[in-house]
Chain A
Amino acid sequence: MMNLLFAALAVMASVFSHPALARDHMVSQTGKEFRPAALTVKPGDTVVFRNDDTVIHNIYSKTPGFEFNFKRQFPGSENKLAFEKTGVAEIYCAIHPHMKLVLTVRN
């Protein structure tokens, strides 16, 4: 019985400590702000950008190595992006330039 318990704990420990497990993170666009405004993820993680506003946004990054442009994102819609490289990306809304998200990708 104890052996079974230890085996189960070992499996759980290995699952939860495995560095390669990719996760989804949510970034909301609410009140013409990113929430959260700063986010740290691991390489391979996916960030879901959801427009919870009543206005259109246009999320993009020009940080070298992290370039992307979602173009128009309508209220209620989502865009997903996996971040593979480590580094710090600055992400903005092209329509509302005061919206800024600092995304850190590190192990």
Chain B
Amino acid sequence: MRSTKVKVAALWIVPCLAFLVYLFPEVYREPKKKPIAQNPVVLDAPGREALDRAGQNYLRDVEPILKKKCFDCHAADFTPSWFYALPGVKQLIDWDIRKARSFIDMGKGYPFAGSFDFMEQLYELETEVNTDGMPLTRYRVMNWGSGLSDAERKIILEWIAASQALLKPFYDGDLQTGAKTGADAFKKDYGRPSAIPFPEGNPTSEFRIRLGRELFFDPRLSGSGKISCASCHDPALYWTDGLPTGRGHEGKILKRHSPTLMNAAWDSSLFWDGRASSLETQALGPIASPDEMNMDVEALASLLNSIEDYRVLFERAYPGEPIAADTIAKALASFERTFVTTTSPFDRWLNGEDGAISDEAKKGLILFNTKANCMKCHSGWRFTDDGFQDIGLMGDDRGRGAVLDMADLDHAFKTPTLRNVARTAPYMHDGSLATLAEVLDFYDRGGDVKRPGVSPDIGPLNLSETEKSAILDFLNSLTEPKPELKR
């Protein structure tokens, strides 16, 4: 009888012991970093504003979830359950709470108190949510339903991603995930794509590029027989013409500056007013425009049909398709997609060559991303978000507003790339600013025109001459060797 009791007891005790052995080793990961107080990340005013925004979003979206799931340990919010009175359990729970709050204390909103800075906190939270590392298993066993649901996980991760994007420009700390200082901190923002995107309707081929090249440099594409695409988009001038505004048919002075075609393969819209959504739709516009190349496109197709070399080239590039507006445009677009910038000192620095750019240029990059506010629009590896802004230039050109028939977008023009910007003067859609120094002065004084449509992001920047000089050094570091054409 006694032996049976022992066996029954053993049947209970052994699994319980095994369960405890399973639970107890699960402890918090010790932070590898020094406490935040010894290694603070100092934010300037725009950075603090971004942190406030992330904090407000946290209170609205994320805190209600964490309150239910995390606050027992990560805030002074613990409501003891009956088992808290059990010897041993109390000590374990107290230890858990002490540790949890020393790492991250969520009691006063985001940024949290504890051992991590504001960006590391996002990383820590992201890791725990993605790995389902929190709450600890022993907590979940005693508090059923305390794990995160998929919907809650999604909300938290979206807030983390949005906050990381908000705060990244202001963060120069050293994340535990690896070195995220200096060039590494900017790699994600400015890293270049590995391949040129070609649309499904016009996949690339050697013959298409070759045909496009012949057409691009051929003045017979204009009514006068004197103007080619390259007249305004000269590779020797980084695919621009160096003039304030373009010269068209019979020398007509056009009203807008000839935009560069560098990296046009990635442009989400073309022309200063964005009226073309692809290079294929853009290509015929200047050819047919009476002010520009003044060439009837059907007449051009007939002309090209009469030239033996073109007949051969078109047949190789677009077998079975006629020489027509569609194939002319596709061939030109195929060639234009190959106008890809190569490697500037900035790219070399980004790839680990620390001395590729000066310390002044590095300061300029930080200013570009903070006080000068340039990154609001000149973002990404091309240094443009392809957006449209009224920056407060004088003039009555409606720009994007006329294309969309929206008065709110009047005087808004496309944000140009800054790749090789030191070599593509003059500047702005009307070519009204001759040098980069003039451009910086323009932005520094907050534009020249006050009207309702001017972007609220335009305003006096109060940059010192030293700061302007640093930004200029950074912009100069985006210059690469002149485009080379292999014919």
Residues of A within 8 A of B (CB): 28, 30-32, 35, 52-56, 58, 60, 69, 71-72, 74-76, 94-98
Complex: A75 Cα to B165 Cα, angstroms: 13
Q: Closest chain A residue to B56 by CB distance?
A: A76
> When the two chains form their complex, are residues B388 and A94 in contact, meaning their CB atoms are under 8 A apart?
yes
A28, A71, A76, A96: which contacts B53 (Cβ < 8 A)?
A: A76
A28, A76, A94: which contacts B406 (Cβ < 8 A)?
A: A94
> When the two chains form their complex, are residues B387 and A96 in contact, meaning their CB atoms are under 8 A apart?
yes
> When the two chains form their complex, are residues A52 and B386 in contact, meaning their CB atoms are under 8 A apart?
no
Residues of B within 8 A of A (CB): 50, 53, 56-57, 158, 161-162, 165-166, 268-269, 274, 277, 376-377, 379, 385-389, 400, 404, 406, 408-409, 412, 455-457
A30, A55, A58: which contacts B161 (Cβ < 8 A)?
A: A30
Selected A-B contacts with CB under 8 Å, 25 pairs: A28-B158, A31-B162, A31-B165, A32-B387, A53-B165, A54-B53, A54-B166, A55-B377, A55-B387, A55-B457, A58-B408, A72-B408, A76-B56, A76-B57, A94-B408, A95-B387, A95-B388, A95-B389, A95-B409, A95-B412, A96-B385, A96-B388, A97-B387, A98-B268, A98-B386
Min distance, Cβ B443 to any Cβ of chain A, angstroms: 16
Chain A residue contacts of B388, Cβ below 8 A: 94-97
Given contacts A28-B162, A52-B57, A75-B53, contact A60 B387 (CB under 8 A): no
Interface of A is mostly: loop
Q: Closest chain B residue to A98 by CB distance?
A: B268
Chain A residue contacts of B455, Cβ below 8 A: 56
Complex: A95 Cα to B158 Cα, angstroms: 23
> When the two chains form their complex, are residues B162 and A52 in contact, meaning their CB atoms are under 8 A apart?
yes
Chain A residue contacts of B268, Cβ below 8 A: 97-98
> When the two chains form their complex, are residues B161 and A54 in contact, meaning their CB atoms are under 8 A apart?
no
Q: Closest chain B residue to A72 by CB distance?
A: B408
Q: A55-B377, A94-B400, A96-B385 are in contact. List 9 more A-B contacts (CB 8 A).
A: A28-B162, A30-B165, A32-B385, A54-B50, A54-B53, A55-B457, A76-B56, A94-B388, A94-B404
Chain A residue contacts of B408, Cβ below 8 A: 58, 69, 71-72, 94
